[in-house]
């Protein structure tokens, strides 16, 4: 048996073999830790997606449906057929109910809406007002446009509106809110 000294040069194969043996011995604990950390990260990602992300995605979907309902049903007046008026009222009512339900729902959705500056209660009230004036001829197009544009402002989708129009809507909505007997959902527009 030959004793190696530190001064004797080693062959490259023996050095790589000893390093390989050491790394294999150390890889087992590292692999176990990697598997455990990967599983924990997967569970946390699943929780974040299903507990926080999914309700927010649902809220954004309901917001888009409310915007579409307002856009599609704003100008349904007395000249529309009974079926069209019924469908418009149903769509506006459903959109308003959906907005109210998410505004009073989970804390993560309310926090997201606060950061995104969505006023879901006011938008729902404006949709209910559109519901109430659907099918009536005595409301002019300007009043209908004001309420539809108010929905855009409340849901922070007003980028297509001029600054002057947004200020006008905010001023008129504040006037309506300050009246104790009448609100946005009344026929005071």
Alpha-carbon dihedral sign for residues 106, 109, 113, 119: negative
Cα distance between residue 50 and residue 44, in whole Å: 10
Which sequence spans correspond to the domains of the chain?
62-189
CB-based burial label for 180 (10 Å; 0-12, 13-18, 19+): exposed
pLDDT at 170: 86
pLDDT at 143: 84
pLDDT at 2: 54
Low-confidence ranges of the chain (pLDDT < 50): 1, 15, 182-189
pLDDT at 182: 47
Taking CA 103 as the corner, what is the angle to CA 102 and CA 109, rounded to the nearest 5 degrees?
70
Cα distance between residue 33 and residue 42, in whole Å: 14
Helix pair 141-154, 163-178: axis angle to 10 deg: 90
pLDDT at 103: 86
Determine which helix (DSSP H) or strand (DSSP E) holds 63, and give its type and residue range: helix 54-73
pLDDT at 128: 92
Q: Which of 73, 92, 76, 184 is nearest to 137 (CA)?
A: 76
Cα distance between residue 101 and residue 32, in whole Å: 45
pLDDT at 36: 85
Write out pLDDT tens, residues 32-79: 778 888 888 888 888 777 777 888 889 999 999 999 999 998 888 878
């Amino acid at each position: 048996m030959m004793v190696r000294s530190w001064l004797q040069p080693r062959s490259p194969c023996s050095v790589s073999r000893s390093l390989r043996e050491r790394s294999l011995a150390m890889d087992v604990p590292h692999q176990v830790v990697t598997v455990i950390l990967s599983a924990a990260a997967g569970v946390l990602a699943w929780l974040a997606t299903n507990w926080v992300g999914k309700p927010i995605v649902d809220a954004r979907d309901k917001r888009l449906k409310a915007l579409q309902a307002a856009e599609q049903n704003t100008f349904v007046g007395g000249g529309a057929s009974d079926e069209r008026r019924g469908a418009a009222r149903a769509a506006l009512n459903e959109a308003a109910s959906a907005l109210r339900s998410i505004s009073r729902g989970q804390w993560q959705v309310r926090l997201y809406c606060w950061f995104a500056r969505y006023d879901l209660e006011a938008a729902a009230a404006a949709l209910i007002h559109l519901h109430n004036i659907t099918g009536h001829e005595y409301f002019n197009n300007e009043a209908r446009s004001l309420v539809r544009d108010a929905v855009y402002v409340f849901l922070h989708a007003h980028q297509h509106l001029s600054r002057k129009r947004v200020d006008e809507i905010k001023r008129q909505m504040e006037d309506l809110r300050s009246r104790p007997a009448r609100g946005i959902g009344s026929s005071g527009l």
